[in-house]
Every structure is written in structure tokens, then in C-alpha cells.
Amino acid sequence: MTLSDRQLNILHVGDAVFDYYRISDLPGIEHLPYSLKVLVENLLRRIDGVNVTEEQVRELLGWKADAEPSHEIEFGPSRVLMQDFTGVPCIVDLATMRDAVADLGGDPEAINPQVEADMVIDHSVQIDNYGVADAVERNMDREYQRNGERYRFLRWGQQAFRNFRVVPPGTGIIHQVNIEYLAKVVMTKTGERGRDLAYLDSCVGTDSHTTMVGGLGVLGWGVGGIEAEAAMLGQPISMLVPRVVGFKLTGSIPEGVTATDVVLTITQMLREHGVVGKFVEFYGDGVASVPLANRATIGNMSPEFGSTCGIFPIDQVTLDYLRLTGRSDGQIALVEAYAKANRLWGDTHSPDYVEPEYSEYMELDLGTVVPSIAGPKRPQDRIRLDEAKETFEKTLPDYETPKTNQDPVPVHTDFRGRFEITNGDVAIASITSCTNTSNPSVMIAAGLLARAARAHGLKPKPWVKTSLAPGSQVVADYLRKAGLQEDLDALGYQLVGFGCTTCIGNSGPLLPEISKAVNDNDLTVVSVLSGNRNFEGRISPDVKMNYLASPPLVIAYAIAGTLDFDFETQPLGADAETGRDIFLRDIWPSNEEIDKVVSTAVSRETFVRDYADVFEGDERWKSLDVPEGERFAWDLDSTYVRKQIFFDGMSAKPQPVQDVRGARVLALLGDSVTTDHISPAGAFPASSPAGEYLLEHDIQPKDFNSYGSRRGNHEVMVRGTFGNIRLRNLLLASVGEEVRPGGFTYDFVTGKPSTIFAASLDYRKSGTPLVVLAGSEYGTGSSRDWAAKGTLMLGVRVVIARSFERIHRSNLIGMGVLPLQFPEGQSAATLGLDGTETYDFQGIEALNNGTIPKTVHVVATKPVSEGKPASVTEFDAAVRIDTPGEAEYYRNGGILQYVLRRLMK
């Protein structure tokens, strides 16, 4: 009798009876962190003697809090979650795999998601229209015009693939739909003993902020699209059991402080502490006083901490939220019974509660949190609101150039009239989906602040692009029910859409006259948004500085019109009737006011009604012309959806891996290069390689759409890889050329500067492999498959960095690109490397023996230059293939090739 057989038990929930795997009596379970208990249950019910063994479960039960990660497990998520930007290429790859299986003589229908897979179409709405009553309808119409081809493809996928559901456009953002509807906390499926099996919900998602579901006690995190596809096809995710940081919460949020202020404080603390690759788990008596919406806000920002997840245990707050959001009484009872039966109940006052042991400890008294913003380019760079003006004035010169006009610039627009703009002015002030819009307290606070501002006659400045993009229909309903949408409308915060907008770069264009004034005068204008991402070049190509703030503060900055503003000493304006100066404190709502409106406006009935037909869609969705068949009929003229090339010429068995010789440097990069710098995102001009490609296919610039919307076309995406306007390729300086921001490099084949894409074509023709040299924290940012896919398609075989972000390192391996790490304490600079060398990598072939070499030997040869003789630099770089599973993926040329070959067997 196996361990899993012995632990298979019966759970009574009212009149219902379920099978479940009991972990509560396993030796060592009581002191494990909540998140590791989830992993124990995951392994226990999946013991097969091959991928998951009894010994692995026992090793996990014997976890040592102070140990460094070394124990590998195979995590099997219960479901996979996708948004459309990253999900479309996943479905393109699955459709291509069906063709590849057919080409190899197999059954195409073998390619189906093996676990529940949901896609929420939320990343394609763009803010073209704002400040008008019908903005949301006009933006939706434009969205379908731009993306009809993609949406038809997704509707085909919904009917062609089993276990695949699609939430249509205009419903909400993936993370909010997840916590409000999709997440079950405890799932059920048909068991083998005639009863349903109850088991823990867990998920991976193609968006790094999948971690938001941790607020519900569901273990989930973002992965690359490559890993997600493999998980959908039944492949486990190899991982090392991480260190777990226990973050103790005490006290309560003081007056005038929002959940956003709390999460920005936690983000700063955890970034400074260092939690990359670790689990973060919140515990302590103070947790019970943290509303579920606040927990979700904190969990959402886990990628900004750098951790794999940010999770809270299941408790009464969880059950209350499940009830509020319309889950059935039976489901709520199951969650409670299961959690209590399996030592997963997080009530610190329960007689059965045992405080977990953690690898590291941190603590925050919520009563010490103060109003804050973060910026101008990273979410962890928190600034106290009372120091924001002073900090901004010190930072602004870093963004100005000799071309910057220091005088106010006059602008005349038909939409907003005449005004002047200058450096520091707020060009975008957006209440945007994701981190905050799931949280009624901050959304109601924004509405109440708008009401008070309206009463005094205050309005945003005419140069500010205002927008409100809630994360679900529920938000729009409770704002209307409270009468607050009318007040928001009066300040220009009409609904513009439901989904991810400003945070992903879908802020839409500024008024042409403003954009021209900004660029002609090299002005440094600012965005303020209530999202989670403010990386350089991400929000808008016209905006240099980006700040995160709570929804009410977003409106306050729209009224102020500039970041060069002190809310304590400067009035927002004068009362329209009395002429009295009005300060932020005069219109800021009290916690009591906020709580009162939340309690009356946010109801279970609203959630039940809005999610009753969540998969149906509106008439636009229903009227799409959908192709049929088990294999997709590819349109060779399509510029949105094209058959992938990864499987072209693939053999049934993998070829041995080889050492890399004669490689040239494509890019020499500094520290903190993010996947936003690497992966194509946002808009792109006609002069870019991607723009030139679309022009060649008779697509006009007004119809370019965004990179994200064209992720199903590898021809567009490879041309935009490493194309971010803020990327600085230091290789150009090494050869005496100007370092032009953007996707430029030096082409050693032609001996001239070039775009990265054009140079890659020359290297491909000459048979020259490529390498990227990078600094610390390479690949931080969103979990983007195209940051790895594009790297491979440019011809890059090796990336050497000082350190890697977890997801991007894994994604590189998943595409067959080798991640190497400079020796401890070394970098390209300390080794005297400037990118002009040719590189040989010796020892990669050791992987063919079934082992993972700890290092490979690197020989960098600098050519003769200006009379100087050739020189050679040699060093051993650490191989960052961390698990045997990753090694198998690399040997197969990538994770998808590995999965396809296994299915063929």
C-alpha cells in the first residue's frame, strides 16, 4: 500500500461526501509554512513512482527552514490561467503542435489541455477615447476592429480544444476575474472510488501577477507562456523547494492611508530584504484584520517584491469573501471543512493553530504606514507623499537634456482648448486595472474624492489624459449604485474599458498637439497610475517618468496637474463659490465614509448577476465568424496569427547538444534590464523593423495596433525584440559609436551600426551564433514568453549575466537558450570584456551524458585593434540549468519539443 493510498480519506461536508488526501497527520506537517503544506498535498495525490515519489514527499515534510534550496520537486498546478497577449501565442503553439503531430504521423487531437485552462481577453483594449460619455463603447468597437482576426482564432480554439474556456473582451482583467469567479480554493473532480475527489486549487498563469490569487489562499504564480503550454499538456513544473519568508502583520491601517500605501511599503521592504526565488507568506494576529481585497492587492505585487508568490492562509476572511463574490454555500462549506481537516486553517486563535517555521522573518506594523507614491521608473522606489515634491525636483534633471525647453510651451487643442505645458506636468492620470481596481475601499475612496472635488468646482488640468478602467463589471456596478460614477464622470473619469490598459502600455495616444509639443521641446512629462508597473518606456512613448499611486491620489495629481506639487502646503485650487483655497485634506474621505459606502454598495447579488454568463460575451463576440475543424486553417496573408516555426524540421529524437564556437555579441547590457526592455510591448513606429514589415504587407500605421496584440505573429515579434526605446546597448560605445536608445547594435559582419534585427539576419547568413552579455537582475519584470522566444529567433544561443530573474532564466532554457552566470563578484566590466570579442563555450556537450555541468569554460578573444595585439580572456561561467527537468528541456531544444516528443511516444 503506497503512502497516497494510506492517506486517501473521506471528508464529510454536510450531506455531501468527498474523497481527499489527508496531510494533517503526516509527520512534520504541523510546523510547515502554509504554502509548503499546499505543495505536500500536491505531491501526495500525484505520487506515481516516477515523477513524484514517496521519498520526495518525505523530504518535503523534513524541510529545514534554514536550508538553501536544493530539493527538486515536480509541481502539478490544478489549472492554467492566460491573458490574451501571452495566451494567443500559447494557442498558436498548440495549433502548430497539432500540425507537427500530424506531420510525424500521429493523432492531432492528442494535443489538448490536460488540466483546466482559462483565458481572459483583457490586454487588448486601448484608450483611444476618453473624457466622453460613450468612451467605453467606442474603445470596444475599435478593439474588435483591430483584433477581430485574433478573436476569431481564439473562438476556434475554444471549440477545437477540450478543457479550454475563454472569457470574452469587455468582462474584466484576468486577476480580478480569477479571484472573483474562477478560483475555487478547493476543487473537485471525479474520483476513482465512486466519489468526487476534493483537492487544493493551485494555478500558474501567463501573467506575473497571477500571484494576486494568493490573497485567497491559492498558491499560484506567473510563468512564461512556454511553461504554461507544457503545464496545460500535463507536464509538471520542476522547481526547487524555496526558502519561505514569514512576513508578520500587526496593527491596523491608520486614517488617511490606503491599501496602495501598504503594498508600496511592503514592496520596498521586501525588495530591500531580497526575496527573489522565495515564497513570501503573511502571518500573525494582524492578518485577520486585513480584508481580502487588501490581501489580493498585496499578493498582486509579488512580482514587484521579486518573490515567487505572496500568500495568505485560508480563514474566516476567505470564507466571507467567497460568500460576497457569489460562490455557492456548498463550495464555501467545502473550503472550510477541507482547510480545517488538513491543518490549512489560518485562525491564530484556533486551539489547533501552530505557528509555522520560516526561513526568514520580517514584520510590519500597519499603523506605521504613511501615504506614498513610487517612481519614477520602478515600483519598489517608494516616496513618502510629503517628500514627493522635493524628491521629484531632485530627480527631474536626470531626465532632461540640452535640448529640453525649460519654458512653458503653448498648446492649442480642439478637445481641451488652449493651455501651456512644461516639465513635470502630468500627461496621464489613470485609474487602471490590476492591483487596485479589485479593491472596493480604494475605488470608493476615489469616487468620494471626486465627489468632494466636484462640489468645490475642482477639475483636472486640460493637459491630463484621464481614464478609469475597472477590473470587472462589478466595480462599474457598485460605483453606479453608490452614485459615484456621476462624480467621476464630471472629472473626466468616464469608463474607458474593462481590462489591462495603462499598465501594459495601452494608455493610447496623447492628443496630437500635446505629443508634438512634448517631442519638439524634449519635455519631461509624467504619468500617474494606480497599477503595479511603471518601468521606463512602458506606459507611453511620450512620457519619461512614471509614478504609482492609489486611485484617489491619481485624481488628486490630475487636479494638481504636475508632480512638482506639495499637497500639504499647496492648494489644489479655489472653491468655485467662496474662493477659499482647497487642499487635498479638505476633499480626502475618511475611513468611516469609505467603509459606509462599501457596506451598502458592494453586494453578493451584484457578483452573482455579473458572472452569471461570464463566458457568453456581447453581440460583437457572438457575431464573429468562427472557422471549424480540429486543425486551424492558417491564413498565409495574416499579420496577426501565423503558424510557428519552432517545429519546422523537428526529428522524432533530439540531436546531441553542441559547444558554441565563434559567437559574436549582439548586445552588451547593464544592470536591471527587464523583460520590458527585451520583449516587444506597446506601440511601435513605422520606422521600426516591425513597422517596416507591416508597411510591406500594406498595413497602415493607424492599424498597426500594439506588439501585444500581434504576439501570434512571430515575424512582428522578432523584429521588436530588444527594441524598447529605453534600452541602451553599450556595445555601440565599445566601437566608438553613439549609444542610441532603442534596438540598435553594431554589426560586425558589415562593420556598421544597425538595428538588432537587421544585424541578426547578417549573422544568420554568415552562420555566426550570438551571445548577450548582461548585468545583475537580468530579466526582471513580467513573465513574458517573447523575451525568450525573440532572443532565440534572433540567433542568440547563450546569455551571460551577473544574475537572472527566475521566470526569464527558466524561459530561456525552455527555448533552448543557455543561461550562464559570471563568476561570483565578476562582470563583463571587471573581466575587461567590451563586446568586441568572439566567444567560444566549451563543456556544454557534457549535458549529453545526462549530467548538468556546474560550469562551462568561456574563451573570449579580442581581435587586433589599432596596433594592439589580439588578447584572450578565459573564465568559467556557472551553468544556470538548475534542475534535471530543465536539463531535459535544453537537450531537446526546448520544452515544447520535449513535450511533443513525449506525446508522440
What are the tens digits of pLDDT across the range 290-301? 999 999 999 999
Q: Residue 434 — very low, low, confident or very high, per pLDDT cuts 50/70/90?
A: confident
HEC assignment per residue over 162-213: CCEEEECCCCECHHHHHHHHHCCCEEEEECCCCCEEEEECEEEECCHHHHHH
* Distance (Å, whole) CA 109 – CA 97: 10
Is the pLDDT confidence value at 783 over 70? no
* Distance (Å, whole) CA 341 – CA 350: 13
Mean pLDDT along residues 5-19: 96
Q: Which residues pair with 361 in a beta bridge?
A: 246
**What cell was used for 598?**
462599501
Task: Kindly report the average pLDDT of the chain as a whole number.
Answer: 94
pLDDT at 419: 98
Mean pLDDT along residues 422-431: 98
* Distance (Å, whole) CA 835 – CA 837: 5
Tell me how crowded residue 818 is: count the other CB atoms within 10 A of its CB.
Answer: 23
Residue type, position 687, single letter: S
* Distance (Å, whole) CA 146 – CA 121: 14
Render the burial of 550-573: b for 16+ CB within 10 Å, e for the rest: bbbbbbbbbbbbbbbbebeeeebb
Residue type, position 31, single letter: H
* Distance (Å, whole) CA 675 – CA 504: 12
* Distance (Å, whole) CA 550 – CA 121: 25
pLDDT at 510: 96
Q: What is the pLDDT of residues 355-400, one digit of tens each?
A: 999 999 999 999 999 999 999 999 999 999 999 999 999 999 999 9
Q: Residue 428 — very low, low, confident or very high, per pLDDT cuts 50/70/90?
A: very high
* Distance (Å, whole) CA 706 – CA 710: 7
Q: What is the pLDDT of residues 249-290, one digit of tens each?
A: 999 999 999 999 999 999 999 999 999 889 999 999 899 999
pLDDT at 782: 66
Burial class of residue 759 in the structure, from the number of CB atoms within 10 Å of its CB (0-12 exposed, 13-18 middle, 19+ buried): buried
Cβ neighbors of 570 (< 8 A, separation 6 or more) are 560, 583
Q: Residue 408 — very low, low, confident or very high, per pLDDT cuts 50/70/90?
A: very high
Q: How far is CA 872 from the centre of its chain?
A: 41
Do residues 444 and 482 make contact, with C-beta atoms less than 8 angstroms apart? yes
CA distances from 849 to 50, 798, 876 (A): 20, 20, 20
Tell me how crowded residue 228 is: count the other CB atoms within 10 A of its CB.
Answer: 29
Q: What is the pLDDT of residues 603-650, one digit of tens each?
A: 999 999 999 999 999 999 999 998 889 999 999 899 999 999 988 888
**What cell was used for 869?**
595585439
pLDDT at 799: 98
Give me the numbers of helices (H) and strands (E) for the chain, helices first please. 31, 34
Mean pLDDT along residues 93-118: 90
Q: What percent of the chain has pLDDT over 70?
A: 100
CA distances from 880 to 71, 406, 835 (A): 16, 48, 21
Cis peptide before 376 (omega within 30 of 0): yes
Q: What percent of the chain has pLDDT over 90?
A: 81
Strands 16-21 and 196-200: parallel
Tell me how crowded residue 387 is: count the other CB atoms within 10 A of its CB.
Answer: 13
Burial class of residue 585 in the structure, from the number of CB atoms within 10 Å of its CB (0-12 exposed, 13-18 middle, 19+ buried): exposed
